[in-house]
Amino acid sequence: MTLEIIIFIVLALVAAVSSVMMITRLNAVYSALFLVLNFFALGGIYLLLQAQFIAVAQVIVYAGAIMVLFLFVLMLLNTEKEESLLKRAKYLKIFAIVAAVIVFGEVAYVILTANVAQQFSSIQPHASNGTIQSIGHSLYTDYIIPFEAAGFLLLAATIGALLLAKKKFK
Amino acid sequence: MNVPIEYYLILSAFMFTVGVVGVVIRRNAIVVFMSIELMLNSANLTLVTFSSFMGNPIGQIFVFFVMTVAAAEAAVGLAIIIAIFRNKKTVNIDEINIFKW
**Per residue in B60-69, pLDDT tens?**
999 999 999 9
E runs forming strands in chain A: none
Going from the first residue of chain A to its last (170 residues), give the mean pLDDT of each consecutive group of 10, the final group possibly shorter.
89 95 90 94 93 92 91 83 71 89 93 81 67 89 93 94 76
Residue A95 within any structural domain of the chain = no
Nearest to residue B38, comparing CAs of A130, A60, A16, A107?
A16
C-alpha A163: how far from its chain's center?
27
Nearest to residue B69, comparing CAs of A74, A42, A62?
A62
Question: Which chain A residues have a beta carbon less than 8 Å from that of B62?
Answer: none
Alpha helices (H) along chain B: 5-25, 29-54, 58-88
At residue B33, what is the residue type?
A: F
Query: What does the alpha-carbon distance between residue A23 and residue A129 come to, in Å, rounded to a whole number?
Result: 34
Nearest to residue A22, comparing CAs of A40, A44, A43, A37?
A37
| Full residue range of the structural domain in which residue A7 is found | 1-82
Q: Measured between CB atoms, does A141 come within 8 Å of chain B? A: no
Residue A144 within any structural domain of the chain = no
Residue A12 within any structural domain of the chain = yes
DSSP state of A58: I
Across the interface, whether the CB atoms of A161 and B79 are under 8 A apart is answered yes
Compute the nearest-CA separation of B87 from chain A (Å): 11
Work out the mean pLDDT of chain B and round it to a whole number.
89
Question: Hey, what domains does chain B have and what are their CATH numbers?
Answer: 5-88 (1.10.287.3510)
Q: Which of A:80-109 have CB within 8 Å of B? A: 82, 85-86, 88, 92-93, 96-97, 100-101, 103-104, 107-108
Nearest to residue B73, comparing CAs of B32, B21, B13?
B32
Query: What does the alpha-carbon distance between residue A67 and residue A15 come to, in Å, rounded to a whole number?
Result: 16
* Whether the Cβ atoms of residue A113 and residue A58 lie closer than 8 Å to each other: no
Residue A116 within any structural domain of the chain = no
At residue B55, what is the residue type?
A: G
DSSP state of B1: -
Residue A67 within any structural domain of the chain = yes
Reported ipTM exceeds the 0.85 cut = yes
In chain B, whose CA is at the least distance from the CA of A136? B61
Residue A136 within any structural domain of the chain = no
pLDDT tens digits for range A30-70: 999 999 999 999 999 999 998 899 999 999 999 889 999 99
Question: Which chain A residues have a beta carbon less than 8 Å from that of B33?
Answer: 70
Residue A52 within any structural domain of the chain = yes
Q: Which of B:43-72 have CB within 8 Å of A? A: 44-45, 48-49, 51-58, 60-61, 63-65, 67-72
Question: Which chain A residues have a beta carbon less than 8 Å from that of B13?
Answer: 104, 107-108, 111
SS3 (DSSP) at A168: coil
Across the interface, whether the CB atoms of B3 and A143 are under 8 A apart is answered no
Query: Residue B59, class by beta-carbon neighbours within 10 Å (0-12 exposed, 13-18 middle, 19+ buried)?
Result: buried
Domain count, chain A: 1
**CATH number for position A47:** 1.20.120.1200
Q: Measured between CB atoms, does A13 come within 8 Å of chain B? A: no
Residue A147 within any structural domain of the chain = no
pLDDT of residue A44: 94
* Whether the Cβ atoms of residue A50 and residue A127 lie closer than 8 Å to each other: yes
pLDDT of residue A128: 66
At residue B6, what is the residue type?
A: E
In chain A, whose CA is at the least distance from the CA of B65? A150
How many CB atoms are located within 10 Å of the residue B46 CB? 18
| Mean local confidence (pLDDT), B13-31 | 91
Nearest to residue A165, comparing CAs of B75, B33, B88, B97?
B75
Mutate to test the interface with A, among B36, B54, B68 (most CBs of A within 10 A): B68
